[in-house]
Structure 1
Amino acid sequence: MSDWVRVFAHSNALMVSHVHNVLESAGVPAELRNMTLGGGAGELPLGDCEPGVWVAPHNAARAESLVQEALEGPLEARPEWRCPGCGERLEGVFETCWACGTHRRD
């Protein structure tokens, strides 16, 4: 899998793991690399030590878009919605009704 491309790197391994989970949950196969090489910084080039998320080249554009949305939020705010389960009005940022647990359908 050496032909994969790096779509995200950060010195914070928790941030890298979060991005990996976002991609995997969206159905984009991703690989974590360099999660334990931080101690090699100084002896090895920084780019070789920094934790990162890698994907196959054909998934790179979608992965980069998902990474951007995960870090910065959606490009457009979603409108309020009414829960189909209980009728509660919810802000657009919510995917699940806080009152009854029904998932947004749109």
Structure 2
Amino acid sequence: MRTLYLAANPVDARLAADFLAGHGIAVHIFDEFAWGGRGDLPVNQFPRLMIEDESQYERGRALLKQYERGVPGAPPWTCPNCAEGVDRGFDLCWNCGGERP
């Protein structure tokens, strides 16, 4: 397996893995729990995503560039149920739970 992404922390690793899974790319997270040993271990171990299918490596790298920039092309939106403004990173309205149109 080949390292696709070196995450900043375990939460970032899990979010990136879920993002890739949503686009059909399977990865394994290695060293996810080594984070707890930081400061006590002689090495600084960061979680890393390892791609299962090497043929999807380049596509995975391109998707991770989008992930690092945030939600690409998604503008802020207005909830169709309550007319509340919602930031672009959310698919559900924070006020009423309505879905993005």
Q: How would you bin the TM-score normalised by the shorter chain? A: 0.5 to 0.7
How much does 1:11 deviate? 6.2
Residue aligned with 1:32, SS? strand
Equivalent position of 2:82 in the other structure: 86
**Structure whose alpha-carbon radius of gyration is higher:** 1
Per-residue deviation, residues 38-93 of structure 1 (Å, max 9, x unmatched): 7474xxxx8xx6531011123223322332233221344x3343323333343434
Residue in 2 that maps onto 1:12: 9
Partner of 2:55: 58
Give 5+ residue unaligned stretches, structure 1. none
Residue number in structure 2 paired with 1:23: 20
| TM-score, normalisation: structure 1 | 0.60
Question: Structure 1: how far apart are the matches of 2:86 and 2:29?
Answer: 35
8 Å contact from structure 2 (residues 71, 89) kept in 1 = no
- Which stretches in structure 2 are left out of the alignment for 5+ residues? none
Q: TM-score, normalised by structure 2?
A: 0.62
Cα deviation, residue 15, structure 1 = 2.9
Aligned to 1:100: 96
Indicate the larger mover: 59-68 or 9-18. 9-18
Contact 2:29 2:47 in 1 (8 A): yes
Size of the alignment, in residue pairs?
95
Runs of 4+ with >4 A deviation = 37-40
Aligned AA for 1:98?
Answer: W
